[in-house]
Structure 1
Amino acid sequence: MENLKKLLVIVDPDNDSDFVIERAILLAFYGKAQVLLIMNKANVLPQNNDVNPGLASRFFRAQKQSFLEHYQNRLAALKTRFETQGIDTETFFSAEKNDAAVILEKIREFQPDMTLKSVQKKSALSHILITNTDWKLVRNCPSPLLLVKARPWFEDGAVLSAVDPLHSKAQQNQLDHLLLDTTVRLARSLQLSARVFHCYFPDLSSMFPKVVDAEAYVREVRAIHWDKIKTLVSEHGVSEDQVTMTRGDLIKTLLQTIRKDRANILVLGALSRNAVESAIIGSTAEKILYDTPCDVLIMKHNR
């Protein structure tokens, strides 16, 4: 990902305190980016041809106009807020029922360097709610997708990249370089620190029924992973002390690292697969998106 010159921001029509606006202003200000604010709110009022002519028809036309004006005024106020920061901003509003289809069409048309969308909390005490629209964007968004959590950034925080340098697929290796390049660029532009995370899990089952030294085997596996990590990060000017390499439970150690490094953004890679597995999917991906307290930036190699 090169410098952020175009940002597409998906505005939540039902949330007046949307954290995605704060993130977008910050990213656009530092990157001197152009911004497109889009909002989709399905209009559930009857259409003109669904009501009888006369008083009822005039009433529903007035309600429809009021509906449009309300959300367009919200977008206009946000546009003014961005422009007072010197950010070139345009807006787009639609009232279609297929939220994801409208958003994806605008993304393909605008071709942003990054798309931003907030994810919701079910309640103050519960997990993040990843909606069907969110998952469709994770799978199909052609641009880097930043899923924004409802919490402020740490002023001394970090951009944390999760990499897998021992993956056998060349495409994953290329993706790791993209993740690190993105992490370093974002950290530099936002005046944050760049951090790298890798977790490995020695397959002890492959040792049996042979009798071998388990501790020596684990040390050997760790050395192999560490050598790969050092080679990878050195190509991006990242020092060894910026790397956290853990063993065991991926989710547990990732969450511990996010807290330790005060991560504002977790940068993840998604490989294109078939129609069913078109992005990071499954229980591990869900746990990462649901449980991580920081924003998650999802990158794909084949933009």
Structure 2
Amino acid sequence: MEKLKKILVIVDPDNDKDHVIDRAILLGFYYRASVVLVMNKANVLAQEESTQSGLTARFFSSQKQKFQEHYQDRLDALQQRVEAQGIEARSVFTSDKNASEALLKLIDSEQPDLVLKSVQKPGRLARILITNTDWRLVKNCPTPLLLVKAQPWVEDGCVMASVDPMHAKAQQNALDHLLLETTASLARAMQLNTRVFHCYFPDLSAMFPKVTDAEVYIRKVRQQHRDRLLELIHEHHIDEQNLVMTRGDVAKTLTHAIKREKANILVLGALSRNVVEQAIVGSTAEKILYDTPCDVLVMKHKSQPA
């Protein structure tokens, strides 16, 4: 992500205090990138208009126009806010019933280098609810997708990549390199710190019945993981003091690491649609996407089809 020329921002039509605009301004400023503000809000009045005639039809037509003007005015105000920071911006409003399809078509036509979208944490009664639009974007967005949380960035924070250098698949290894390239680039461009996270979980079942050697085995596994991690990060000129290694539950230790290291962005990789789908359905990935106290950047390998 050395060259970030165009940022597409999906604006929430029902949230007046959308933090995604703040992120767009920061990224647009540091990268000198243009910003495209996109909003989709389905208009049920359009359906009513097509089934009416005479005065009733004209009433629905006028209400439909007011509906579009209302949201376009909101977009125009946001565009002016972005432009006031010296950033080139324009806006697009759509009223498609299928929000995810409309947004994916716009992304395909605009060809941005990065897509931003806010995610709202549901209340306690509907905890970790993945909306259809969010899911479709995570699954099908062909460009890097930054899921923005409703909180400000920390000034002395970091960009943290989560990698798995022990994976045997070549595609996973290539993805790890992409994650580190992106993390280092973002941190450098926005004058933030760089961190690399990895969690390992020793398979103690391999030790039985030699339980007494468990500690030795765990130290050996830790050293194997650390050696591979050092080999990986040194290729990207990242110092080992920026390495964060944990053991145990991934979601729990990752959340602790994010808070301790003051991460503003967590950079994650997705290998393919099937892998992403299996992961997102699982509770671990849901917690990572929605419970981590920072923004999440979802990356796909460059050679991976959209």
Pair in the same fold by TM > 0.5: yes
3-state SS, counterpart of residue 205 of structure 1? helix
Distance 1:187 1:127, change over 3 A: farther
Greater displacement, 148-157 / 273-282: 273-282
| CA drift at 1:49 | 2.3
| CA drift at 1:18 | 0.3
Alignment match, 1:192: 192
Distance in 2, matches of 1:273 and 1:130, equals: 16
Q: Is the 8 A contact 2:121 2:290 kept in 1?
A: no
Instruction: State the one-letter code of the partner of 1:107.
Output: I
3-state SS, counterpart of residue 274 of structure 2? coil
Alignment match, 2:51: 50
Q: Normalization by structure 2: what TM-score?
A: 0.94
Greater displacement, 1-10 / 181-190: 1-10
Q: Which runs of 5+ in 2 are unaligned?
A: none
| CA drift at 1:87 | 1.1
Greater displacement, 178-187 / 130-139: 130-139
Instruction: State the one-letter code of the partner of 2:63.
Output: Q
Distance in 2, matches of 1:160 and 1:126, equals: 28
Q: Is the 8 A contact 1:266 1:297 kept in 2?
A: yes
Alignment match, 2:82: 82
Distance in 1, matches of 2:2 and 2:87, equals: 19
Q: Normalization by structure 1: what TM-score?
A: 0.95
| CA drift at 1:287 | 1.1
Distance in 1, matches of 2:288 and 2:255, equals: 9
Distance in 2, matches of 1:194 and 1:56, equals: 60
1:250 and 2:250 correspond: yes
After TM superposition, the structure 1 = structure 2 runs for residues 4-19 of structure 1, keeping only pairs within 5 Å, are 4-19=4-19
CA-to-aligned-CA distance 1:177-210 (integer Å, 9 cap, x gap) = 0001100000011111010100000001122245
Q: Is the 8 A contact 1:181 1:236 kept in 2?
A: yes
Alignment match, 1:148: 148
After TM superposition, the structure 1 = structure 2 runs for residues 183-262 of structure 1, keeping only pairs within 5 Å, are 183-209=183-209, 213-262=213-262
Q: Is the 8 A contact 1:199 1:245 kept in 2?
A: yes
Alignment match, 1:36: 36
Instruction: State the one-letter code of the partner of 1:163.
Output: V
CA-to-aligned-CA distance 1:148-173 (integer Å, 9 cap, x gap) = 00001101111011000001111010
Distance 1:184 1:170, change over 3 A: same
3-state SS, counterpart of residue 277 of structure 1? helix
| CA drift at 1:33 | 0.5
Alignment match, 1:158: 158
Distance in 2, matches of 1:241 and 1:164, equals: 18
| CA drift at 1:48 | 2.7
Q: Is the 8 A contact 2:41 2:94 kept in 1?
A: yes
Q: Is the 8 A contact 2:207 2:213 kept in 1?
A: no
3-state SS, counterpart of residue 24 of structure 2? helix
| CA drift at 1:146 | 0.3
Distance in 2, matches of 1:207 and 1:113, equals: 47
Q: Is the 8 A contact 2:20 2:117 kept in 1?
A: yes
Q: Is the 8 A contact 2:115 2:144 kept in 1?
A: yes
Instruction: State the one-letter code of the partner of 2:218.
Output: V
Q: Is the 8 A contact 2:42 2:95 kept in 1?
A: yes
Question: How many residues are treated as equivalent by the alignment?
Answer: 302
Distance 1:177 1:120, change over 3 A: same
Distance in 2, matches of 1:198 and 1:63, equals: 54
Instruction: State the one-letter code of the partner of 1:217.
Output: Y
Distance in 2, matches of 1:3 and 1:110, equals: 16
Q: Is the 8 A contact 1:273 1:279 kept in 2?
A: no
Instruction: State the one-letter code of the partner of 1:147.
Output: L
State the percentage of identical aligned residues. 64
| CA drift at 1:26 | 0.5
Q: CA RMSD in A?
A: 1.9
Q: Is the 8 A contact 2:7 2:34 kept in 1?
A: yes
Distance in 2, matches of 1:194 and 1:123, equals: 32
CA-to-aligned-CA distance 1:110-134 (integer Å, 9 cap, x gap) = 1111100000132499856431110
1:107 and 2:128 correspond: no
Instruction: State the one-letter code of the partner of 1:98.
Output: N
Distance in 2, matches of 1:275 and 1:164, equals: 15
3-state SS, counterpart of residue 167 of structure 2? coil
Q: Is the 8 A contact 1:271 1:279 kept in 2?
A: no
